[in-house]
């Protein structure tokens, strides 16, 4: 038992990998509530371009953001094939529209590298680490950085 825990000193973390704006990202699985197909949204007035609108998630009114647009890429044209990742940060529940969800990635925490310093833009600000994989690397999204206290005032 103890030995087992020692081996786990570097924590095992699971990520869900996704594609937005043609790039690979991942979100820690503990922050994800569920993954749904795209459904039409109710538009919100005066909303920033990356806010698509709101949907009814079993009685709760959930705002849906276009992740690609939020990261500064070309906005996604949502179709039936697109996916919404419902995430929960503290008390807030928000849906992120992404191009696709690929897999669940289980890695040891010591595999996470710090984000190299690059020119700052919307997408690098929202990244708090990278995971090297075989031939590519996956960027870890920091939801806290992505989603300020209220979306409306962030507009």
Contact residues: other proteins, CB under 8 A: 42-47, 51, 54-56, 58-63, 91-94, 149-154
Shorter beta-carbon distance to other proteins: residue 10 or 145? 145
- Neighbour count for residue 62 (Cβ, 10 Å): 19
Q: Are 17 and 102 in contact (CB under 8 A)?
A: yes
CB of 49 to other proteins, least distance (A): 12
Complete DSSP assignment for 109-127? GGGPBPPPP----HHHHTE
Shorter beta-carbon distance to other proteins: residue 54 or 111? 54
CB of 93 to other proteins, least distance (A): 6
CB of 87 to other proteins, least distance (A): 11
Shorter beta-carbon distance to other proteins: residue 140 or 146? 146
Shorter beta-carbon distance to other proteins: residue 42 or 74? 42
List the alpha helices (DSSP H) in the chain: 2-7, 67-70, 122-125, 143-146, 151-154
Type and span of the H or E element at 97: strand 92-98
CB of 75 to other proteins, least distance (A): 18
d(CA 39, CA 56): 10
């Amino acid at each position: 038992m103890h030995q087992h825990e020692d081996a786990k000193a570097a924590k095992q973390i699971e990520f869900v990998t996704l594609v937005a704006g043609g790039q690979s990202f991942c979100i820690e699985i503990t922050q994800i509530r569920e993954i749904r197909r795209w459904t039409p949204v109710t538009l919100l007035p005066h909303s920033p371009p990356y806010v698509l609108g709101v949907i009814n998630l079993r009685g709760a009114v959930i705002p849906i953001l276009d992740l690609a647009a939020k990261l500064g890429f070309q906005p996604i044209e949502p179709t039936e094939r697109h996916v919404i990742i419902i995430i929960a940060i503290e008390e807030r529940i928000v849906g992120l529209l992404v191009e696709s969800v690929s897999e669940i990635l289980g890695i040891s925490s010591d595999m996470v590298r710090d984000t190299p310093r690059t020119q700052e833009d919307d997408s690098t600000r929202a990244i708090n680490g990278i995971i090297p994989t075989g031939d590519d690397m996956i960027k870890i999204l920091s939801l806290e950085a992505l989603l300020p206290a209220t979306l409306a005032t962030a507009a």
